[in-house]
Amino acid sequence: MAEGSNLGPETLQQLYSEVERISSTYPRSPIHHVLGDLVETQDVAFRLLEGRQRPNQTKDLYLLSGLLSLMLAKASHDLGDPHSAMKQARTAYICADNAEHDGLRIRVRAQQSLMAYWAGWTSEAARYADLGHDLATRHTGSAAVWLMSQSARSWASLGDGERATEDLARATALQDDRESDDLDGLGGLMRFARCRQLYYGAETRIWIPGQEEQAEQAALTAIEAYEEAANTGSDDWAYGDDAGARADLAFVRATRGELEGAAEALAPVLELPVGQRVAGVIASTMRVHSALRDRQYAGSRVANRLRQEIEGYGQAPAAALTSGR
C-alpha cells in the first residue's frame, strides 16, 4: 500500500505535454478552440489528486493543476466573467502553495492583478501586484518581469506616474538579469515575452500625462515586435496583446486629434473574428471610443462612423460563441 500509486510516469508526462500544448496554443487561437481541452485536462488532474500517489508526484500534480486553474482563470476573464476568474485564480494559488512553487505563485499574482485591472478594479490590481513584489527575483523567470510590468500600468492608471516609472525600470532590470525558470519552458502564456513587455510599457505611458510621444513610440515598437513574432511563427505572438498595442496607439493618436492615424492603427483590431474579441481587447477598443467622444470630434462624420464601428464590434464578444447566443 505504501508503494501504491494511481499515477504512472507516462500519465504524468502526458499531462505535462498537454499543459505545454495548451499554454502555447492559447494566445494564438480563438478561445473556443482551446476551452474544451482546458476544462477536460483540469478535470483529469484534479481527479488524479483524489487518488494515491508518491509525495513527489503529488507536488507535480498540484503544479499542473495550478497551471490549468490559472489558464482557466484567464479563460473566464477573456469571456468577461471576472468573478469566476478570481475564484479560479485563488484555486491556482492554493495549488502553487501546495506545490511550493514560487514561479507559479508570482504568475498567479500577475494574472490576478491583470484581471482586476481590466475589470476596472484598479486599486485591487495594484494590491495584487504588491502581494507578488517579494517574489519578483531573477529566479522566478519572466514572471518577475510580468509582475513588475503589470504593477507599472496598475499604478499609472491610479495616477501615480512616479511609482509606475519605477516599476518599469525594475522590470527592465529584471529582464536584463533574469534566469529562465521551468515554467518559461512551457512557452505561450507562461513566458512573458519581450514584445509583451513593450506593450505593457506603452500602456503604462498612456496613463501618464506628458508621455504621449513615448507611449506612441513604445506602441509602435511593440507592434513591430509582434509582427516579427507572427512572421516567424513564434509562440511569443499573441493576438490579444498585439491588438492591445494597436489600440493603445490608436488611443494616443485620437487624444492628439490624429483621427486618420487612429483609424489606421485600430483597423486590424476591428478585423478580428468574434472568437478573438476577448474582454481585454474590447476594453482597449472602448478606450479609443472614449477618446473619440471628445468635443474636438463633435460633428465629425469620420469619428462618428468609427465610434459606431467600435460599438458594433463590442456587441459581438467571444463570450457569445461559448454561450450559444
pLDDT confidence of residue 82:
95
How does the average pLDDT of the chain come out, rounded? Answer: 93
* CA–CA separation, 71 and 34 (whole Å): 10
What is the tens place of the pLDDT at every residue in 92-130? 999 999 999 999 999 999 999 999 999 999 999 999 999
Tell me: the pLDDT tens digits for 236-269? 999 999 999 999 999 999 999 999 999 999 999 9
pLDDT given at position 10: 82
What pLDDT digit, counting tens, does each position of 13-52 carry? 999 999 999 999 999 999 999 999 999 999 999 999 988 7
The string of pLDDT tens digits covering residues 58-99 is 999 999 999 999 999 999 999 999 999 999 999 999 999 999
DSSP state, residue 279? H
Could you give the 3-state DSSP secondary structure of residue 101?
coil
216 vs 214: CA distance, rounded Å: 5
Spatial distance between the Cα atoms of 209 and 220, rounded to a whole number of angstroms? 19
pTM (2 decimals)?
0.93
Say if residue 162's pLDDT is above 80. yes
C-alpha R_g of the chain: 20
- pLDDT, residue 5, reads 63
State the number of CA atoms in the 13 A half-sphere of 318 facing the CB. Answer: 26
Instruction: Determine the Cα–Cα distance for residues 274 and 169; give it in Å rounded to an integer.
Output: 36
Please report, for residues 19, 37, 91, 275, 280, the alpha-carbon distance to residue 33 in angstroms, rounded to integers and kept in the order given: 15, 8, 23, 9, 18
- Per-residue pLDDT, averaged over 282-289, amounts to 96
pLDDT digits (tens, 9 = 90+) for 176-225: 988 899 999 999 999 999 999 999 999 999 999 999 999 999 999 999 99
What is the model's pLDDT at position 216? 96
